[in-house]
C-alpha cells in the first residue's frame, strides 16, 4: 500500500512542478535547467544561469557561447567590493568544470551574460543559445525566462570584451 502511495505521489510530481526541469548532455557534461531573467526592452545584458555536472574523468572548461539574438554569451563572475557594490568581470580563462563535480551558475556568482540581446527576454518564453566547452564542444540549449526579481540595483557591468 505504501509503495503504491509513493508511486502515485511520484506520478503527480511533474504536474505539480511550476516549470518542468530540462537538461542537456554534451560529451560527459550534463547541463541542468538553464534559466534567464526577463529584460526590459533595450536592456544591454541579460543573466543566464544553470548547473553543469561533469560525469567524466577529465576537467573541462566553459568558455562562452553564442545566441542568434545577441552579440555574444560570456562567462562572468560577480563579486562584492568593500563598498558594497556588486561588480562583474568576464572570466578570460573560462570556468573550470572539475571531473565528478557540479558547478552551479547563479545570481551573485558566476553566471552567463547574454551581451546586447537584440530582442527582449520575455517571461514564460524560452531563449535559444549555444554554449561552448573547451573539450566537449558546442551544445545548443534553451533558457527558461523568468521574472526580473532580485537583480541588485547597484550592479555595475564591466565592459564586454
* Shortest spacing between CB 27 and Cu ion, in angstroms: 26
Query: Which of residues 68 and 158 has its CB atom nearest to Cu ion in the complex?
Result: 158
Please name every residue paired with 32 in a beta bridge, in sequence order, or none if there are none. Answer: 23, 51
For residue 75, how far is the Cα from the chain centroid?
Answer: 10
- Residue nearest to Cu ion according to CB distances in the complex: 76
Binding site for Cu ion (CB under 5 A): 76, 88, 113
| Nearer Cβ to Cu ion (44/122) | 44
Report the residue number, 37 or 76, with the smaller CB distance to Cu ion.
76
The string of DSSP codes covering 85-137 is -EEEEE-TT-EEE-TT-EEEE-TTSEEEEEES-SS---TT-EEEEEEEETTTE
C-alpha cell at 63: 568558455
CB of 112 to Cu ion, least distance (A): 8
The CB-of-154 to Cu ion minimum distance in angstroms stands at 14
Amino acid at each position: 500500500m505504501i509503495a503504491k502511495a509513493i508511486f502515485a505521489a511520484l506520478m503527480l510530481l511533474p504536474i505539480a512542478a511550476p516549470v518542468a526541469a530540462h537538461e542537456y548532455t554534451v560529451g560527459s557534461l550534463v547541463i541542468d535547467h538553464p534559466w534567464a531573467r526577463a529584460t526590459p526592452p533595450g536592456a544591454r545584458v541579460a543573466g543566464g544561469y544553470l548547473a553543469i555536472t561533469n560525469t567524466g574523468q577529465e576537467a573541462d572548461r566553459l568558455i562562452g557561447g553564442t545566441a542568434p539574438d545577441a552579440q555574444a554569451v560570456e562567462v562572468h563572475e560577480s563579486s562584492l567590493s568593500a563598498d558594497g557594490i556588486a561588480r562583474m568581470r568576464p572570466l578570460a580563462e573560462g570556468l573550470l568544470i572539475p571531473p565528478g563535480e557540479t558547478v552551479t551558475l547563479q545570481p551573485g556568482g558566476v553566471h552567463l551574460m547574454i551581451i546586447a540581446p537584440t530582442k527582449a527576454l520575455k517571461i514564460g518564453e524560452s531563449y535559444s543559445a549555444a554554449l561552448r566547452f573547451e573539450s566537449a564542444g558546442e551544445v545548443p540549449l534553451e533558457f527558461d525566462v523568468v521574472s526580473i526579481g532580485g537583480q541588485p540595483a547597484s550592479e555595475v557591468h564591466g565592459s564586454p570584451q
